[in-house]
Chains A and B, each alone.
Chain A
Amino acid sequence: MNKLLKKRHLNPTVTLFTFEAPLIAKKAEPGQFVIIRPNENSERIPLTIADFDREKGTVTVIVQIVGGTTADLNAIPEGEYIRDVAGPLGKATETDGLKKVAVVGGGVGCAIAYPIAKKLTKLGASVDFIVGFRNKDLFFLEEEFTAASDKLVIMTDDGSYGEKGLVTDALKKLIEDGANYDEVIAIGPLVMMKFVAKLTKEYGIKTVVSMNPIMIDGTGMCGGCRLTVGGKMKFACVDGPDFDGHEVDFDEAIRRNSVYKEFEQEKACRLLNLK
């Protein structure tokens, strides 16, 4: 049982949760995740660690409320308890030796990319942080993003904030303007990461993507999170979640993430009393 200390709605569908988890806070590194089970009958879901405070013993996750389990988490009031939190799981994002990095986030993925940008900046790297949202209403954490980067580039699909366009447009422009990145780190929807990787491949820039497949235990037992990377089977929970974006089979990952779509839709209907 982990006490929920703070809950903040960042936009209509994204919520920040800070909870007590001293052992996890002590070990957590950007890029790692926790497995959360909000209630006794809930599913176990993986959520990437967005922030942690080793002294206070707290961990923060930022979550898009998309289905039954995230809705259950969202229903827990501050001061009450999350049933189970386990972690930190997965390997931390490699930051050694990086001098000039583009960190690219899409939607809620920006929240997950944020601690990596923050860590790189703290280590003295020059960080261009490109964040993409559908529109201004969905945008969040501008102050934090600004503090975690040398340059923050905001992109919206409709141009209601920042520049109009996709994150790949912004990335391409920066590369063309001679940014000379050691590495690009992309975190967001699978389609976004696929296209970031496609773009950087043309320029031969090493690209790391953070995969978030379906998981159960998160410790290397179930194999549900398997991906094809460089033609080989990998388990995101123990081999990742970070992988070489030029080697990941994104189309397969997109397909595998839709396995339970019907079940989830039915569950969503049940929640809304439509069935």
Chain B
Amino acid sequence: MANMSSVKNPMPSQEPDIRNKNFDEVALGYTEQQALDEAARCLNCKNKPCTQGCPVAINIPEFIKETAAGNFEKAYEIISQTSSLPAVCGRVCPQELQCEKYCVRGLKGEPVAIGRLERFVADWHNAHSTESAVRPESNGHKVAVVGSGPSGLTCAGDLAKKGYDVTVFEALHLAGGVLVYGIPEFRLPKDIVQKEVDGLKALGVDIETNVIIGKTLTVDELIEDGFEAVFIGSGAGLPSFMGIPGEALNGVYSANEFLTRINLMKAYKDDSETPVMHAKRVAVVGGGNVAMDAARCAKRLGAEEVYIVYRRSAEELPARAEEVEHAKEEGIIFKLLTNPTAILSEDEKSVSGIRCVEMELGAPDASGRRRPVVKENSEFDIPLECVIMAIGTSPNPLIKSTTEGLETTPRGGIVVNEDGLTSRDGVYAGGDAVTGAATVILAMGAGKTAAAAIDRKLSGKE
């Protein structure tokens, strides 16, 4: 008999007032008892609506059934059949827009906490499994993967499991892409990412750090070197700024820079050599996950007032619901329907404030969201010392400019077909390099699609 409670088992978490002063993980994960209880809420629907909402099509009712029976390792095996990074996805997927959105239990009450269960199963496996991955026999085909973020790791993992000799080229000194430079420790501990990377190495994947494709080597050189297919998962690129006065002032960061200093370079630790500003009052411009991460990091560095400045309303905030919730609990102040018009300085050197106008929602625009328009005579200033721009990125030009015949959109995103194939034979792409800033799970889905297409091509099934 299913557990008919209309609400999810709550996620044990650090208290907001404690966690907003440390970088330890916020959500602590279900206990076995909570996992068993939550898994029992699943009705095991025959038509599995939840699975349709998953970009990597995890067999969700099946893994939950095994979880409810206490067969956690079996549950892990089911997830692993289609997902290569379960401990990551359980933490960072926007489940409310994916699997949980379609859960039948959500019609009357809260859906089954699929994401929390996925995390529980993955963490249980990591804590208890003694088996190390077995390197499959090589099929003799060499594939290059550019970038070690979610799309690259997924593509590499899927191909390595099939016996391909995969080399991953990473521009930074550490593998993981946005999982290490972007998403903070308190949301995704870095040892979890490292475990996933180590898992790939155990499968025989070679990871070459400090190699910038488009500079150190080109895509054409990879092909000349004998790689039969190349997957480009180089991620998002140049950070966008608003083009308002004052963006060159000291104290203005792109979210990429602020987060990279903190997450990749560990600037929050005393023994790190990389500096970062510890401002008392900070504004983060934008409403996505990156904006939430930047705001919560600023708070943890000791800021007393941290504002999220977003030009639309709460309903349009692109961030995961849980991140918005967590940010609010931690004392982040939301200035919604507010848009900056200038960054101010008293000494013409450092930031002293931000000038904003209030907005109201007009008719829907091309994105279907109601377009924010400026409210007359609504200008006001907020005094502060640091402004972080988290308003997106545009694709990195390095690969496009060094790969002849690689078609891109007017915005610079790489053009691909439904298999992830680019305009160049044997060259595939996926993730933010194609779509612009999106989610971890969509990038993983793209890596998966491309891996399947590469396998079909190189194994002669196509």
Contacts and interface: CB of A to CB of B under 8 A. Distances in A.
19 contacts: A27-B216, A41-B272, A42-B273, A43-B274, A84-B209, A216-B261, A216-B274, A219-B396, A220-B237, A221-B236, A221-B239, A221-B260, A222-B257, A223-B241, A226-B241, A226-B248, A238-B398, A259-B277, A263-B275
Given A86-B173, A87-B216, A258-B250, A238 B397 contact: yes
A85 B253 CA distance: 25
A235 to B, nearest CB: 6
Contacts of A228: 248
Nearest to B259: A222
A42 B238 CA distance: 24
Contact of A223 (B171, B256, B398): B256
A42 B271 CA distance: 9
A24 interface: yes
Interface in A170-229: 216-217, 219-224, 226, 228
Residue among B172, B209, B265 with most chain A CB within 10 A: B172
A68 B273 contact: yes
Contacts of A235: 238
**Max chain A C-beta neighbours (<10 A), residue from B236, B238, B241:** B238
A84 B397 CA distance: 23
A41 B215 CA distance: 25
Nearest to A267: B273
Given A24-B216, A85-B210, A37 B275 contact: no
Interface string A73-116: 00000000001111111000000000000000000000000000
A221 B275 CA distance: 18
A264 interface: yes
A58 interface: no
Contacts of B241: 223, 226, 233
A68 B277 CA distance: 18
Contacts of B397: 220, 238
A220 B260 CA distance: 13
A69 B248 contact: no
Contacts of B216: 23-24, 27, 86-88
A33 to B, nearest CB: 11
A106 to B, nearest CB: 24
Contacts of B211: 23, 86
A23 B257 contact: no
B254 interface: yes
A126 B275 CA distance: 44
Contact of B173 (A37, A68, A222, A259): A37
A256 B397 CA distance: 25
Contacts of B210: 84-86
B273 A41 contact: yes
Interface size class of B (residues with CB under 8 A): 35 or more
Nearest to A32: B215
Contacts of A72: 273
A217 to B, nearest CB: 6
Interface in B259-280: 260-261, 264-266, 271-275, 277
Contacts of B323: none
A217 B260 contact: yes
A264 B257 contact: no
Nearest to B240: A223
A1 to B, nearest CB: 9
B217 interface: yes
Interface string A26-68: 0100000000010001111000000000000000000000001
B265 A44 contact: yes
A256 to B, nearest CB: 6
B433 to A, nearest CB: 12
A41 B271 contact: yes
Contacts of B118: none
B342 to A, nearest CB: 15
B396 A221 contact: yes
Contact of A44 (B173, B212, B235, B256): B173
A264 B275 contact: yes
Contacts of B251: 259
Nearest to A260: B275
Contacts of A255: 250, 349
Nearest to A40: B173
A143 interface: no
Given A219-B396, A256-B248, A89 B215 contact: yes
Nearest to A23: B216
Contacts of A238: 238, 396-398
B247 interface: yes
Contacts of B273: 41-43, 68-69, 72, 267
Contacts of A84: 173, 209-210
Interface string B220-263: 00000000000000011111010100011011011011001100
Contact of B257 (A43, A224, A263): A224
Nearest to B256: A222
Given A216-B265, A222-B257, A89 B173 contact: no
A259 B278 CA distance: 12
A38 to B, nearest CB: 9
